[in-house]
A and B are shown apart, each in its own frame.
Chain A
């Protein structure tokens, strides 16, 4: 695992004159073996940054480095990604095993059988029940699909994993299970991970470092305890104050 580094990453969408700036000179480091949380509201540019890191969104300026090397725009990327929507992230015409095996690098030793075995091994690693590798995604629950997506990301032998809102489409009772898998994997494999979420409580639970994004810019970044306990930026305070807390009672506006 190595570090992921954004240097002045800028993404401009649309035509030159009528586009908008989705990411504005973002400098951000995901240290090797650490989980960095990226929080912000919809439209803040979190997902754009993630897509830029894997070459799905073109960088207008700046660069994205993994272990000091720029991320290639073609071929297998050293950064793998898990997406938000569990129902769009798996090909409905491929079995779970095929989807995972497809992501295994070409140089993997052995033939089809060994790739299949590797897919099964990864399935077990993310806590999929036995036999699921041979079924089609339609038969899986949302939480199981996200586990498959995690297994597929691991199959690509990534240096860094980006998790983009991976629990926001899940029911609350399954969200916890997926978060536990992420947490366990991170501890076992020392993954470098960029964990994107709009949910501060989820980010707090999973991440060591927290970066707050707004309107394409990182407005605050630091160790999780510090940012969440003593936020330095006005916007971070606003976000924190808005998080619903168990036991508190919302009063009407004055």
Chain B
């Protein structure tokens, strides 16, 4: 996998240019001293301090030497010095940066502390300090610049290796008895190597510029040898009378510095640091994955992102619309009506493929599905919170009769959405702005959309905080989000959602990041707010049990489609889609038979970048036949308020035990607790 990733940096125009420049420089460095040393050093007393001419392309210096050939010949010394200084800096930095891992805690802390102090000093100051000690001249400058760049590299190595050393695979290797040195060479260095190489390349460019700077100050290479910096120094002394002599070495310095910098830059991009094109998509597609609070499940390393797998394009046949035969007339109390909603990303990624749903006033509808099912994207698309490159199309998205598709996005529209639609997100820790007070974040809804003064808005916010049962709301109003517990933050988030007395609240995995006891309180609060304000609630979750508890109706999503829609009460008794049934059976409950293995869904969840024709669940389905693999079933009615998209809907009840009366031991516990 390695070579192709590195090769990618050469395939961008930027990377190719930089690489070509570096190659030319290397070639000149090797050949020029052999070919032109004589030409460059020859004195021509008849042509002193001349401008550019056909004989001397870059003019001559005060001894009549040809500046152009001098620049060419000086390439070797310049490059050698820059690379040697980089080697000194990188080597020393690596030693200092990895020492804490090898030497253990105490010695490591001392080294880290010293490096932390040294790194605050600009490299030029350090270089000047070392130049005093090592003396004026090429050797002194080399050591000075080398050691001056060491702290930065040590800090970088330390930071990178510490972040890798904290990962579980290092812990696992330690437990397995792998020694410190092998840990470093086998696990840590390979995983930070790419970043180090990229930074070393950029550091080489910096070293080259630093030599030019020191030579310009007269502290670098001394006559009779010369590098670009020395040529610059000579040329710059006469810049006001004869600027061209400085021009050629100046251009050489800038070009070479740029080449190193740009090449580093191109490598960094090719190896996948931040703003990679696919990053946002992967993040959006994974937003619904349940991660528990306090221990983020981050992907390790650049190579470990499963979402970055090459995406195949969609089959050429356009996706058949699976809009169910909903009656075109909407109920009078319809709050939200969505028809054939589709979301796509560039590159043929199609995570939502035709979702239709309606919500009435006071109704709670749950959308359940696994990561990659498109449930969170559906919610964000309805709320108009998806930004390009996501593309949204739909036959209809209407909120309280307003067509959101045709919305002008002006102030009126903003006020309407700001007061009619409330949102609750998954992680209450990250969903509040960390540097602003909780209360102000609630109050700004009222000042922006309801024309309230700051004082009125503050009163309203305190009232809402009280309504979501936050104790001493006046005090909490003035606190920062991190000063509230997780459950309280999510309550405040619900309070924020109902600031404008909305008709619809969309809750996207609102309890996934919370502990079970807190989850129950937050769910109850959501239900009580829904009842008190007669809200329509669109509840997104990966947990079918929770959805069944909270919602009147359940929509099961798989691979961007609703595969089944049924009343919550009918879930266990009459779920008909094999996927819904698998979801119900695969999750152990407090009543699962311990002697039986759990039901298993083979394969892995569908990849929105790789949607095949036919039913998306077919590859994992025990009942799939050729029909399933050829044609995608549409959502059709299967009884009272029940729709299913399946060629082979199952009829028998799902074999799971339900809570029924006070017979089960757990219910006894429940009863005891309430008394």
Contact = CB atoms under 8 A, between A and B. Distances in A.
B449 interface: no
Interface in A102-148: 102-103, 105-106, 136-138, 141, 143
B670 interface: yes
B129 interface: no
Given A87-B297, A89-B172, A92-B300, A173 B583 contact: yes
Contacts of B294: 42-43
Nearest to B520: A242
A245 B546 CA distance: 8
Contacts of A239: 516-517
Nearest to A87: B299
B562 to A, nearest CB: 17
Contact of B666 (A172, A205, A240): A240
B241 interface: no
B167 A248 contact: no
B615 to A, nearest CB: 16
A247 B187 contact: no
A85 B600 CA distance: 21
Contacts, number: 262
A205 B592 contact: yes
Interface stretch (B204-212, B378-386, B408-416, B523-531): B523-531
A8 B295 CA distance: 26
A41 B217 CA distance: 63
A188 interface: no
A245 B167 CA distance: 35
A60 B95 CA distance: 32
B605 interface: yes
Contacts of A47: 295
Contacts of B223: none
Interface stretch (B49-57, B173-181, B389-397): B173-181
A65 interface: no
B542 A168 contact: no
A136 B548 CA distance: 39
B172 A83 contact: yes
A205 B588 contact: yes
A192 interface: no
B625 interface: no
A228 interface: yes
A70 B531 CA distance: 57
Contact of A168 (B292, B518, B601): B292
B582 interface: yes
Contacts of B118: none
A76 B542 CA distance: 39
Contact of A198 (B169, B187, B515, B584): B515
B637 interface: no
28 contacts: A41-B517, A42-B293, A83-B168, A83-B172, A85-B168, A90-B300, A91-B190, A92-B304, A138-B306, A172-B543, A173-B370, A173-B601, A176-B588, A180-B600, A198-B292, A200-B590, A228-B666, A237-B672, A242-B519, A243-B516, A243-B666, A244-B519, A249-B568, A250-B550, A253-B469, A253-B521, A253-B525, A253-B528
- Interchain residue pairs A-B with the least CB separation, the first 9: A76-B177, A247-B658, A252-B528, A176-B598, A229-B665, A103-B176, A173-B601, A41-B515, A83-B168
Interface of B: 1, 167-169, 171-178, 186-187, 190-191, 289-295, 297-301, 303-306, 370-371, 469, 515-521, 523-525, 527-528, 530-531, 542-546, 548-550, 568, 571-572, 582-584, 586-592, 594, 597-601, 604-605, 620, 656-660, 665-666, 668-670, 672-674
Interface of A: 41-43, 47, 51, 54-56, 75-77, 79-81, 83-94, 99, 102-103, 105-106, 136-138, 141, 143, 149, 152-153, 155-156, 165, 168-169, 171-177, 179-180, 183-184, 198, 200-202, 204-205, 228-231, 237-253
